[in-house]
A and B are shown apart, each in its own frame.
Chain A
Amino acid sequence: MKLSLSPFLLPSTLYTANISSKAQAAQQHTVKSVARFLSLSVPAPRACSAQSMRVHWCVLPFRVLLVLTSHRGIQMFESDGSIMVYWHALDTGDAPPVQAVFARGIAASGHFICVGTWSGRVLVFDIPAKGPNIMLSEELAGHQTSITDIATEPVQGGDCMADVVTADDSGLLCVWRSGPEFTLVTRIPGFGVPCPSVKLWQGIVAAGYGNGQVRLYEAMKGTLHVQISAHARTICALDLAPEVGKLLSAAEDTFVHIWKLSRSPESGSIEVEHCHGECVSNTQLCGARFCDPSGSSFAVTGYDLAEILRFSSV
């Protein structure tokens, strides 16, 4: 699949929404429409302003919204990009002139959409079942440096104790329980490198770091269970195939690795196994995603690459 301009070098620039059984067709269509969309909605002349952009389809109980972030603010659209339902301008009030101002990190949790900002604040928006009556419900204060990524887990049965994770430029992770008021469950300190990508699955936090490490933590307590020297350059994207517990890591070292997560039946400890590695020659990867929840295929994007490459297991 060709794009007219190669994707901007920003982590996680590839998103698929597995909405229905027509996921394949939906994916093809939606990825194309995003490519078209990005070139229309952004003021063309100031190329720089387009480049703080992240995009994410937020799957909520009764609707799907397309969320775009940039250095100006946050836009939310109906899932086909046809109508903008909400615009939130970023508050740049106390930002010093040397500070880059932007929104980054988007995730949906229940009927909330969380968006991270340059200051470390996480904005929580309350989304109604339909219509444009979206409200800013809360601003989470847990981070002191720019948010890089946010991950959420669909609530499993009644009682989920930790369903949102936020990550920042210092590598700090905050684990939250969502609700009318979000509660901070635990903090996992960084170690001097950014954490560009984070995922949450069955109480396991998977974090990818700027020094190529992937770490797995117990979400409730924040204990480190697994440390993988996975890549030789910064990790740009992690993704999960929730049906089988497969984790994908892609990095600027041109490699993609697939891991199998599990819990030991005796101790409940998190374990991991390496399944597969793929080298995308001479390409600094910037985005990667599983194409389906069973993880049988994945797609990658890279710097200076005008195509989305798709790999399927045979």
Chain B
Amino acid sequence: MSVRTLPLLFLNLGGEMLYILDQRLRAQNIPGDKARKDEWTEVDRKRVLNDIVSTMFNRKFMEELFKPQELYSKKALRTVYDRLAHASIMRLNQASMDKLYDLMTMAFKYQVLLCPRPKDVLLVTFNHLDAIKGLIQDSPTILHQVDETFRQLMEVYCGLSAGEFQLIRQTLLIFFQDLHIRVSIFLKDKVQNSNGRFVLPVSGPVPWGTEVPGLIRMFNHKGEEVKKIKFKHGGNYVTATKEGSFELYGDRVLKLGTNMYSLNRPVDTQTSGASKNSTSRAQQENIAPNPLAKEELNFLARLMGGMEIKNPSGPEPGFRLNLFTTDEEEEQAALTKPEELDNKVINIQAMQDQQRSEELARILGELEVTDQPRWSTSKGDDLLAMMDEL
């Protein structure tokens, strides 16, 4: 499949993650002077977002990302987001991280599925980047990093043909295949059915470059139009009014990829029978021995080596963020998680490979921290544990 898909996947999922974290942090916002030591303030929120965005758009990291490569497994990608979410003083426990990832994935799946043209996935990406720039307005250095990535996206993707975009779209949709987690904001807006499937509307504007269906034109051998017949298409489409902009700044026209969360519309997932499909598929991936675990491990090590993690300076504790409405809910969610989702430790040959283990050890060494976050494990162990979970 297409080897140009990873940057789009990563940036859009990252964008959704930021929308969700921003919304949750605002929801738990306490005015600065009234806050206790362990409560979130506006200053904390901005700091967390700055830290995550700056890690995400780190130059070395982006270089690795943009190299032509196949999409790796869902588990490998999930590990990257685990890492990214902990790039600041914020801490998420397993249940909250699971929920965050479910929301991110379903949101981007929805956006890809509903893109009118395959090329519009680039507009979705630009929508995410525009919004990210809005979140970190106060930091010119990070803004510059984001703009650099914007330019790189334009350079790589704006010249691609419709056929190449169709291949990218197919690669993305295959990645999201058979995921049917129900998201309450989607259910409320009626864009998702109770069986977890998205609603595909048959009305509204047609994609830019497509005609409204319903017309048959017939020509003679000289090329002159001789007959025009209408037929009943079944949908209720209208002409597209204008094309979205692919420039650094501009009206994207498309709403997909913009922030759909707000204080009044809390994020929420329901895990239900519908999600069993995804867990059984994940289980299939778990069971089959993966001879490419080494390659994925290598990729992760390179990516994470490129991720400069800002270590919290001074004796600040890590702040825990709960994606659920109460702590009890979060605990409950952790308990009711199906057995199969618990990450099993799989023995990986990688450690027997002298060169690999030296490389990993070097990277781990660079990531060691001196102060303790709220969790008792150190960051080094954290990374290793995540590696083991592949």
Q: Do A and B bind each other?
A: yes
Q: Are B162 and A282 in contact (CB under 8 A)?
A: no
Q: Which residues of A contact B34 (CB under 8 A)?
A: none
Interface segment, one of A29-37, A83-91, A226-234, A240-248: A226-234
Q: Are A51 and B200 in contact (CB under 8 A)?
A: no
Q: Are B177 and A45 in contact (CB under 8 A)?
A: no
Q: Which residues of B contact A9 (CB under 8 A)?
A: 170, 173-174, 177
**For the complex, what is the distance from the CA of A104 to the CA of B226, rounded to whole Å?**
37
Closest-CB distance, B236 to chain A (whole angstroms): 10
**For the complex, what is the distance from the CA of A281 to the CA of B200, rounded to whole Å?**
7
Closest-CB distance, A79 to chain B (whole angstroms): 27
Seed contacts A44-B288, A269-B220, A282-B193; 19 additional CB < 8 Å A-B pairs:
A47-B285, A48-B1, A52-B1, A97-B3, A99-B3, A192-B162, A196-B166, A211-B209, A211-B210, A212-B211, A226-B216, A232-B210, A232-B213, A234-B166, A267-B220, A270-B218, A272-B216, A277-B233, A284-B113
Beta-carbon contacts under 8 Å, A137-152 to B = 145-146, 148
Q: Are B213 and A231 in contact (CB under 8 A)?
A: yes
Most A C-beta atoms less than 10 A away, residue of B118, B163, B212, B281: B163
Q: Are A45 and B161 in contact (CB under 8 A)?
A: no
Interface segment, one of B18-26, B65-73, B380-388: B65-73
Take A8-B174, A9-B170, A45-B288 as given contacts and tell me if A229 and B219 are in contact as well, using a CB distance cutoff of 8 Å: no
- The secondary-structure label for the interface of chain A is loop
Q: Which residues of A contact B202 (CB under 8 A)?
A: 232, 253-255, 279
Closest-CB distance, B212 to chain A (whole angstroms): 7
Q: Are B292 and A45 in contact (CB under 8 A)?
A: yes
Take A8-B177, A193-B209, A223-B223 as given contacts and tell me if A255 and B162 are in contact as well, using a CB distance cutoff of 8 Å: no
Judged by a CB distance under 8 angstroms, whether B231 is at the interface is yes
Beta-carbon contacts under 8 Å, B57-77 to A = 68, 70-71, 73
- Count of A-B residue pairs with CB < 8 Å: 167
Judged by a CB distance under 8 angstroms, whether B15 is at the interface is no
Q: Are A304 and B170 in contact (CB under 8 A)?
A: no
Judged by a CB distance under 8 angstroms, whether B214 is at the interface is yes
Judged by a CB distance under 8 angstroms, whether A310 is at the interface is no
Q: Which residues of A contact B116 (CB under 8 A)?
A: 233
Q: Which of A98, A193, A224, A277 interacts with B162 by CB under 8 Å?
A: A193
Chain B residue nearest to A224 in the complex (CB): B219
Q: Which residues of A contact B210 (CB under 8 A)?
A: 211-212, 229, 232-233
What are the 10 tightest A-B residue pairs by CB atom distance, in nearest-first order? A169-B163, A274-B231, A229-B211, A194-B163, A98-B68, A211-B210, A45-B290, A229-B215, A97-B68, A227-B217
Chain A residue nearest to B209 in the complex (CB): A211
Q: Are B197 and A229 in contact (CB under 8 A)?
A: no
Beta-carbon contacts under 8 Å, B1-25 to A = 1-4
**For the complex, what is the distance from the CA of A28 to the CA of B218, rounded to whole Å?**
39
Contact with B along A38-59 (1 / 0, CB 8 A): 0000001111100110000000
Q: Which residues of A contact B217 (CB under 8 A)?
A: 226-228
Q: Which of B73, B200, B218, B226 interacts with A283 by CB under 8 Å?
A: B200
Judged by a CB distance under 8 angstroms, whether A199 is at the interface is no
Chain A residue nearest to B206 in the complex (CB): A232
Q: Which of A212, A234, A283 interacts with B213 by CB under 8 Å?
A: A212
Judged by a CB distance under 8 angstroms, whether B198 is at the interface is yes
**For the complex, what is the distance from the CA of A69 to the CA of B289, rounded to whole Å?**
25
Chain B residue nearest to A279 in the complex (CB): B234
Q: Which residues of A contact B101 (CB under 8 A)?
A: none
Q: What residues make up the interface of B, taking CB atoms closer than 8 Å to A?
A: 1-4, 68, 70-71, 73, 113, 116, 118, 161-164, 166-167, 170-171, 173-174, 177-178, 180, 193, 197-200, 202, 206-207, 209-221, 223, 226, 229, 231-235, 237, 281, 285, 288-292
Closest-CB distance, B325 to chain A (whole angstroms): 30
Beta-carbon contacts under 8 Å, A244-281 to B = 253-255, 257, 267, 269-272, 274, 277, 279, 281
Q: Which residues of A contact B3 (CB under 8 A)?
A: 97-100
Q: Are B163 and A230 in contact (CB under 8 A)?
A: no
- The secondary-structure label for the interface of chain B is loop
Closest-CB distance, B36 to chain A (whole angstroms): 46
**For the complex, what is the distance from the CA of A169 to the CA of B160, rounded to whole Å?**
12
**For the complex, what is the distance from the CA of A98 to the CA of B67, rounded to whole Å?**
8
Take A45-B288, A170-B163 as given contacts and tell me if A98 and B4 are in contact as well, using a CB distance cutoff of 8 Å: yes
Q: Which residues of A contact B171 (CB under 8 A)?
A: 51
Most A C-beta atoms less than 10 A away, residue of B162, B197, B290: B162
**For the complex, what is the distance from the CA of A9 to the CA of B237, rounded to whole Å?**
24
Q: Which residues of A contact B161 (CB under 8 A)?
A: 145, 169-170, 194
Beta-carbon contacts under 8 Å, A78-109 to B = 97-100
Take A211-B210, A229-B211 as given contacts and tell me if A51 and B174 are in contact as well, using a CB distance cutoff of 8 Å: yes
Q: Are A226 and B233 in contact (CB under 8 A)?
A: no
Chain B residue nearest to A254 in the complex (CB): B200
Chain B residue nearest to A306 in the complex (CB): B178
Closest-CB distance, A29 to chain B (whole angstroms): 25
Judged by a CB distance under 8 angstroms, whether A12 is at the interface is no
Judged by a CB distance under 8 angstroms, whether A225 is at the interface is yes
Q: Are A269 and B173 in contact (CB under 8 A)?
A: no
Q: Which residues of B contact A224 (CB under 8 A)?
A: 219, 223
**For the complex, what is the distance from the CA of A24 to the CA of B279, rounded to whole Å?**
35
Q: Which of B206, B218, B237 interacts with A272 by CB under 8 Å?
A: B218
**For the complex, what is the distance from the CA of A282 to the CA of B167, rounded to whole Å?**
21
Chain A residue nearest to B169 in the complex (CB): A9
Q: Are A271 and B166 in contact (CB under 8 A)?
A: no
Q: Which residues of B contact A148 (CB under 8 A)?
A: 163
Judged by a CB distance under 8 angstroms, whether A218 is at the interface is yes
